Amino acid sequence: MNNKEIAEIFWAIADILEIKDENFFRIRAYRRAAQNIENIADDINVLAREQRLNIPGVGADLARKIKELVETGRLAYFETLSQSLPAGLLQIMTIPGVGPKTTKLLYEQLKIDSVDALEKAAKNHEIAGLFGLKEKTEENILKGIALIRQSHEKILLPEAMRIAGLIIAEIKKVKEAKQISIAGSLRRQKETVRDIDILVGSNQPQKVTDAFMRSEVAAEVLARGATKSAIRTHEGIQVDMRVVAPDSFGAALVYFTGSKEHNIRIRELAKKKKLKINEYGVFEEEGGRCLAGRTEEDVYRILGLVYIEPELREDTREVEAAAAGKLPKLIKLKDVRGDLHVHSHWSDGTASIAAMAAAAQAKGYEYMVISDHSQWLGVAKGLTPGRLAQQKKEIEALNKKLKNFTILRGTEVDIKSDGTLDFADDVLSGLDIVLAAIHSGFKQSREQITERLVKAMQNPYVNIIVHPSGRLINERAAYDFDFEAVLNTAKKTNTALEVNCYPKRLDLDDRHVRKAKEAGVLIALGTDSHAPEQFNSMCLGVSVARRGWLEKKDVLNCLSCKELRKRIKKWI
Ligand code: DGT
Ligand code: CA
């Protein structure tokens, strides 16, 4: 079981305990542990095996439960607890606005034990009148059910960025809006976000709020206050907007960008300096004089810190690094000089190599790697060695014509279920660069998958492992593998690991990336473009890289084409 699966069991336990009116502190303990298990980069299986389960919020009892889950894949306590409740009650609790108390009431009074039964009761107006529940509650329940059916999924970063862009364009038209920014997890560029947060600096909140409500993306107004309002978009996404005085904008931006944990950390720091920080500014504890507030830079400076980029504000040692002047100089999109993962219509891409090269050149790149699939992947029209040789002629002819741009000849060679590669070494040796990936056997054991990846990296021609964890956001969890072992081998064999920029992959994720950097393993950014417009997703990979603390020097494709060729030489 991976970290997420174990965390989900803890979340579920907390929900069940809440329905059962159990001790508040116990419930909170499970939620805290679940959150921390989700947030750590370390593989919980490794931690359990090595008796290193010193995760915040995980005491002896929870550690025993984690061990049981890791060793047996089951938890007797959870099974017994689940059986004590009808299964549908847990689903009912996920409906917005329906908490454990209402769930319990509906079950005890109306025997409602499933989302379907709840929908029926709300439609038949059986709920209004029940212990103070109103007709409005029925409406809200029906809306909530529609919402959870429509999107039980988290919002992907590019979708949230698109919607935020539309709203900001609308607010920009209001001349009284002096400063505008995204905030929250979106500004921190998390791979998925729960909602969109927008912050505006203005002395005329009314006018700004009007523009927000008028925006074409708004389907429904959820709240409208003097400085805080919220809408729901046609896609069912909630957007919160806050308007603050321009003099407080910087302090408010720090506060509403978060993360909550980062805010707590800087509040502690302020306290040590006898200062008070909140969304209005930084104040002297004695006397209350305001020392900073208009810009984020001012706020951090008064606290004795250099500016901390939003992507780093996760309370993962960034405050200490800022105090010591040791923050990384984060990679930027413009530092990227080529795309390392591109498909053409030779395999499952939609466009010719020439069209893909033109699109890459339009992005300002010096090179791209054509990495069409290998023969085993029949569904993707994988290339045989014969077709790969034909492709070579086309690429060589194009390279002769192209100015200031090089098409590197590569492959995305399949790592077969026994860990052997889909092309023989003499085929691989003729290429400029070799990408290797797993496309099957996701359910193999942890040992088998790890062995496959390790074996692939030990091949003298493999330069990059692409989408190393195999996850698809909202669809498929990563396969189980020993990331530490992969990092060790990557380091030893001079193999880079990819951050695949495809919005549903973003694989490796930010936490893995940080570990790779710490282990001295290079990261390769690849869009995995199958069509010219997909080159745009490089910015998502850059966001993951930034969240993983990467600098230009940590990323393979910040090198020039010449330097790249030199760097990828293997030494085993
Ligand atoms: P999300 O929306 O779950 O993807 O993540 P965030 O970080 O955008 O969370 P959200 O929307 O609940 O709140 C936005 C920011 O507001 C959050 O990052 C930090 C700040 N914030 C919210 N609630 C609290 C709080 O209770 N304490 C502190 N210190 N900050 C808070
Ligand atoms: Ca948010």
Could you tell me the distance, in angstroms and rounded to a whole number, from the CA of residue 312 to the centre of ligand 1? 15
The total number of residues written for the chain in this structure:
572
Percent of the chain topping pLDDT 90: 77
Q: Residue 483: pLDDT above 90? A: yes
CA distances (Å), 391 to each of 209, 278, 395, in order? 57, 60, 6
- Tell me the β-bridge partners of 435: 412, 464
Amino acid at 3: N
Query: What is the CA angle 117-19-57, rounded to 5?
Result: 135
CB 469 within 8 A of CB 446: no
395, exposed or middle or buried, with CB in 10 Å at 0-12, 13-18, 19+?
A: buried
pLDDT, mean of residues 439-453: 94
Amino acid at 424: A
Q: What is the model's pLDDT at position 150? A: 61
Q: Is 263 in the pocket of ligand 1 (CB under 6 A)?
A: yes
pLDDT tens-digit profile of 5-29? 899 899 889 989 988 889 999 999 9
Q: What is the model's pLDDT at position 11? A: 87
100: its two tokens: 């454990």
Q: Is 185 in the pocket of ligand 1 (CB under 6 A)?
A: yes
Could you tell me the distance, in angstroms and rounded to a whole number, from the CA of residue 229 to the centre of ligand 2? 14
Amino acid at 432: D
Q: Read off the pLDDT band of 151 (50, 70, 90).
A: low
Q: What are phi and psi of 500, to 5 degrees?
A: -80, 125
pTM (2 decimals)?
0.77
Determine if the peptide bond prior to 508 is cis (ω within 30°).
Answer: yes
From 39, 193, 197, 265, mutation site for ligand 1 pocket: most ligand atoms within 8 A of C-beta = 197
pLDDT, mean of residues 317-335: 98
Q: What are phi and psi of 520, to 5 degrees?
A: 75, 30
- Alpha-helical segments (H) within 249-291: 249-257, 260-272
Distance of CA 559 to the CA centre of its chain: 26
Ligand approaching nearest to the C-alpha of 258? 1
Atom of ligand 1 nearest to the CA of 267: 29
d(CA 350, CA 261): 44
pLDDT tens-digit profile of 248-260? 999 999 999 999 9
- Tell me the β-bridge partners of 230: 223, 240
Could you tell me the distance, in angstroms and rounded to a whole number, from the CA of residue 235 to the centre of ligand 1? 22
d(CA 501, CA 254): 28
Query: What is the CA angle 69-154-158, rounded to 5?
Result: 130
Name which residue sits closest to atom 16 of ligand 1, judged by CA: 256
**Diameter over CA atoms, the chain:** 80
pLDDT tens-digit profile of 242-296? 999 999 999 999 999 999 999 999 999 999 999 999 999 999 999 999 999 999 9
Q: What is the model's pLDDT at position 281? A: 97
Of the ranges 223-227, 303-307, 530-534, which one carries the lowest mean pLDDT score?
223-227
Nearest to 133 by CA among 106, 166, 163: 106
352: its two tokens: 């010719």
CA distances (Å), 252 to each of 140, 190, 390, in order? 31, 20, 59
Find the radius of gyration of the CA atoms of the chain: 26
Q: What is the model's pLDDT at position 366? A: 98
Could you tell me the distance, in angstroms and rounded to a whole number, from the CA of residue 256 to the centre of ligand 2? 8
Q: What is the model's pLDDT at position 152? A: 58
d(CA 138, CA 116): 14
From 35, 39, 163, 185, mutation site for ligand 1 pocket: most ligand atoms within 8 A of C-beta = 185
Determine if the peptide bond prior to 259 is cis (ω within 30°).
Answer: yes
Domains parsed from the chain with CATH numbers = 3-151 (1.10.150.110), 155-244 (3.30.460.10), 254-323 (3.30.210.10), 333-567 (3.20.20.140)
CB 570 within 8 A of CB 460: yes
**Helix (H) and strand (E) counts for the chain?**
24, 17
69: its two tokens: 């889950």
Q: Read off the pLDDT band of 95 (50, 70, 90).
A: confident
Average pLDDT, the chain: 93
Nearest-10 Cα torsion for 564, 489, 570, 422: -100
Distance of CA 195 to the CA centre of its chain: 14
pLDDT tens-digit profile of 104-131? 889 989 999 999 999 999 999 999 888 8
Nearest to 112 by CA among 138, 77, 149: 138
Name which residue sits closest to atom 15 of ligand 1, judged by CA: 256
Q: What is the model's pLDDT at position 235? A: 84
